[in-house]
């Protein structure tokens, strides 16, 4: 009976591991969708393909919300990882916020449909690539936090690097934008979109900072 | 059984109860304090294995106490046990470090002084040497376990959740082993002084299991320890788990295992005969302090991590206990016997 109970415990653990992996996988998928959607918007505007991607990211975010709630409930109900439970919940919640930032950015594009001058398109693309790369490495760092703690810091360094890149591109993009011939309302409108994308990189950095602390706490 | 006999055994039974109340926390404190294992499960496992350890492997350390001084009357045994218990109680109230093992040795020497029996100094030095060796050995074992366990965990790349599940299982197994070792090593403190004046005779339980008189005595002591575990150890476990040992569950497992291995080494007659048979130096079978083994293991991990967490005043307090506890217990026992 004791062994049966233990086997049951491991099977429950396995199911929960799969949910955490799905949560991270969905976030990674969302980052890719975010990048592709912005690329489509920059080239073709808010067409059907773009709207489909906005919808897809919303569905991914919604599924991640459900997964997060399920994981949190199971961690508490089964009193699992008492030492790291708070940290894991904090990590999932802040990762979900990054997810929300990407979703919010795409919704804003879909609703406000800003006109982006051709000359700024490469800058927007570079900024999106840097922000998405930061999120990708954040997902890798989070996965390593669960399975291979020694690799976390390498991925966190990458998150910081891409966030710094995003900051540089943001500054350059804003400078170019405000030196352009656009009227002030157009400049301010586009500025808010630069910030939407940069916020994703900043959000990834905030989670990375927390994850760095959680990793130190998990040292045996 | 005669009520008088039972009354005279109360000194030892009280020591057993207090041992269960306090020292169960050394084997299950972190697991219960961090809610990795429920108290009921921990108490049940601890009680069963303490009794098993006491009955199966308790004779070795008791023999050594017998060599120090054989108290041949039940009433004098009771006085020695009560003197040790009083010393433990007084020193605990005064906030001084105390160990039942050290108190009972002092009480036996007090009996020797009162009765004019010679005290074998070589046995005294052997016992004191063991007390010093116990935390040091626990520290060394903890370092070795850490060096093996941590790289193995990293190599296995276990998911945090699976590591948690395995750690729970490992803490339960280590706790059971710790409880067995505690029973085997520390039953000498509880019932050792009664062995020479043992009122029990051999019995056969259900026509299957034979228990000698000494085993029956140890069974009674083991049950007293189990009673202490169930009635009073929860509070101590929660204090130890949440306060004194801010360790990760894996580090807590290492500490419990190091403690259990050391207590087992100082109690195992099987190991002693194996070493003797192989021509190797044997490990003396002496009751040692469970708490000091835990502190030694924690200090070992502290030194391994650079020594930042090592508190020298803790070491000084432990060392002072090696001297003050036996002297106080000896004086209390001698004075009580003289008055009575």
pLDDT digits (tens, 9 = 90+) for B28-79: 887 887 778 889 999 999 999 999 999 999 888 888 888 887 787 888 888 8
Average of pLDDT values for B119-143? 91
Q: Check residue A217 and give its pLDDT.
A: 85
CB contacts under 8 A, B 258-287 vs A, are none
Q: What is the residue range of B33's domain?
A: 3-339
- Find, among B333, B313, B336, B332, the residue nearest to B96 by Cα: B313
Query: Is residue A220 scored above 70 in pLDDT?
Result: no
Query: Is residue A2 scored above 60 in pLDDT?
Result: no
Query: Is residue A133 scored above 90 in pLDDT?
Result: yes
Mean of pLDDT over chain A: 93
Q: Check residue B178 and give its pLDDT.
A: 94
Tell me the pLDDT tens digit for each residue of B80-127: 888 988 888 887 777 666 788 888 899 999 989 998 888 888 888 888
Q: Check residue A33 and give its pLDDT.
A: 97
Q: Which residues, 6 or more positions from B17, have their beta carbon under 8 angstroms from its beta carbon? A: B224, B225, B227, B228, B231, B232
B156 in contact with A, Cβ within 8 Å: no
User: What distance in Å separates residue B250's CA from the closest CA in chain A?
Assistant: 7
**CA B288 – CA B127 distance, rounded (Å):** 9
Query: Is residue A157 scored above 80 in pLDDT?
Result: yes
CB contact under 8 A, B249 and A145: no
Query: Is residue B308 scored above 70 in pLDDT?
Result: no
User: What distance in Å separates residue A10's CA from the closest CA in chain B?
Assistant: 7
**CA A23 – CA B123 distance, rounded (Å):** 64
Q: Which residues, 6 or more positions from A155, have their beta carbon under 8 angstroms from its beta carbon? A: A137, A138, A140, A141, A144
Q: Check residue B71 and give its pLDDT.
A: 81
- Which of B161, B168, B248 shows the shortest C-beta gap to A16? B161
Helix/strand/coil for B203: strand
Q: Check residue B97 and give its pLDDT.
A: 66
Tell me the pLDDT tens digit for each residue of B158-191: 899 999 889 989 999 999 999 999 999 999 888 8
Place of tokens 């192989």: B278
Query: Is residue B302 scored above 90 in pLDDT?
Result: no
**CA A102 – CA A89 distance, rounded (Å):** 20
Q: Which residues, 6 or more positions from B251, have their beta carbon under 8 angstroms from its beta carbon? A: A220, B146, B301
CA-CA-CA-CA torsion for B228, B232, B235, B241, nearest 10 degrees?
A: 10
Q: Which residues of B touch A145 (CB under 8 A)?
A: 160
Query: Is residue B320 scored above 90 in pLDDT?
Result: no
User: What distance in Å separates residue B156's CA from the closest CA in chain A?
Assistant: 9
- Which two three-digit tokens encode residue B59? 């004779």
State the architecture of A12-218 in CATH terms.
Up-down Bundle (1.20)
CB contact under 8 A, A13 and B150: no
Reported confidence tier of residue A72, pLDDT bands at 50, 70, 90: very high
DSSP type of residue B37: S
Q: Check residue B234 and give its pLDDT.
A: 84
B161 in contact with A, Cβ within 8 Å: yes
Q: Which residue out of B158, B164, B298 would a mutagenesis test of the A interface target, given it has the greatest number of A Cβ atoms within 10 Å?
A: B164
Q: Check residue A124 and give its pLDDT.
A: 97
Number of domain units in chain B? 1
- Which two three-digit tokens encode residue B112? 């020797």
- Which of B36, B161, B249 shows the shortest C-beta gap to A13? B161
C-alpha distances (whole Å) from A141 to each of A33, A160, B46 are 20, 12, 40
A16 in contact with B, Cβ within 8 Å: yes
Residue B34's Cα: distance from chain center in Å? 23
- Which two three-digit tokens encode residue B169? 């299982």
A185 in contact with B, Cβ within 8 Å: no
CB contact under 8 A, A10 and B249: no
Q: Check residue B307 and give its pLDDT.
A: 65
ipTM higher than 0.90? no
A10 in contact with B, Cβ within 8 Å: yes
- Are the C-beta atoms of residues A170 and A127 closer than 8 Å to each other? yes
Q: Check residue A89 and give its pLDDT.
A: 95
Of the listed ranges A70-74, A185-189, B238-242, the one predicted with least confidence = B238-242
């Amino acid at each position: 009976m004791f062994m049966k109970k233990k086997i049951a415990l491991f099977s429950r653990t396995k199911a929960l591991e799969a949910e955490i992996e799905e949560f991270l996988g969905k976030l990674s998928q969302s980052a890719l969708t975010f990048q592709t959607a912005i690329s489509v918007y920059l080239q073709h505007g808010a067409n059907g393909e773009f709207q489909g991607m906005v919808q897809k990211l919303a569905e991914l975010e919604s599924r991640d919300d459900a997964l997060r709630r399920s994981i949190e409930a199971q961690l508490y109900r089964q009193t699992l990882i008492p030492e790291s439970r708070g940290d894991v919940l904090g990590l999932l919640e802040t990762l979900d916020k990054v997810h929300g930032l990407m979703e919010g950015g795409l919704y804003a594009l879909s609703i406000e449909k800003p006109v982006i001058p051709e000359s700024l398109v490469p800058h927007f693309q570079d900024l999106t690539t840097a922000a998405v790369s930061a999120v990708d490495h954040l997902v890798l760092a989070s996965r390593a936090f669960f399975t291979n703690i020694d690799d976390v810091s390498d991925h966190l360094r990458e998150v910081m690097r891409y966030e710094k890149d995003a900051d540089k591109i943001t500054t350059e993009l804003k400078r170019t934008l405000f030196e352009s011939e656009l009227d002030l309302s157009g400049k301010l409108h586009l500025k808010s979109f630069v910030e939407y994308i940069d916020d994703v990189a900043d959000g990834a950095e905030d989670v990375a900072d927390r994850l760095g602390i959680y990793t130190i706490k998990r040292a045996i | 059984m005669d009520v008088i006999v039972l009354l005279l055994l109360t000194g030892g039974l009280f020591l057993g109860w207090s041992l269960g109340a306090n020292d169960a926390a050394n084997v299950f404190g972190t697991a219960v304090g961090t809610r990795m294992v429920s108290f009921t499960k921990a108490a049940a496992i601890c009680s069963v294995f303490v009794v098993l350890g006491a009955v199966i492997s308790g004779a070795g350390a008791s023999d050594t106490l017998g060599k120090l001084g054989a108290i041949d009357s039940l009433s004098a045994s009771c006085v020695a046990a009560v003197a040790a218990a009083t010393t433990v109680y007084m020193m605990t109230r005064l906030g001084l470090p105390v160990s039942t093992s050290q108190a009972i040795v002092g009480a036996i020497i007090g009996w020797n002084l009162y009765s004019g029996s010679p005290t074998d100094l070589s046995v005294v030095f052997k016992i004191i040497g063991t007390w010093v060796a116990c935390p040091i050995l626990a520290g060394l074992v903890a370092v070795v376990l850490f060096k093996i366990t941590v790289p193995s965990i990293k190599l296995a790349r276990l998911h945090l959740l699976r590591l948690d599940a395995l750690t729970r299982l490992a803490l339960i197994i280590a706790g059971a082993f710790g409880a067995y070792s505690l029973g085997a090593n520390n039953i000498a403190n509880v019932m050792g002084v009664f062995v020479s004046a043992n009122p029990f005779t051999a019995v056969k339980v259900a026509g299957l299991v034979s228990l000698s008189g000494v085993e029956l005595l140890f069974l009674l002591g083991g049950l007293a320890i189990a009673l202490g575990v169930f009635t009073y150890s929860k509070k101590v476990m929660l204090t130890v788990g949440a306060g004194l040992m801010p360790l990760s569950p894996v580090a807590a497992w290492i500490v419990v295992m190091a403690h259990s291995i050391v207590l087992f080494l100082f109690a195992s007659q099987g190991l002693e005969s194996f070493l003797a048979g192989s021509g190797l130096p044997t490990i003396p079978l002496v009751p040692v302090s469970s708490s000091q083994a835990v502190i030694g293991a924690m200090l070992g991990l502290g030194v391994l991590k650079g020594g930042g967490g090592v508190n020298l005043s803790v070491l000084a307090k432990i060392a002072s206990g090696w001297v003050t506890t036996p002297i106080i217990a000896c004086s209390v026992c001698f004075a009580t016997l003289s008055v009575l």
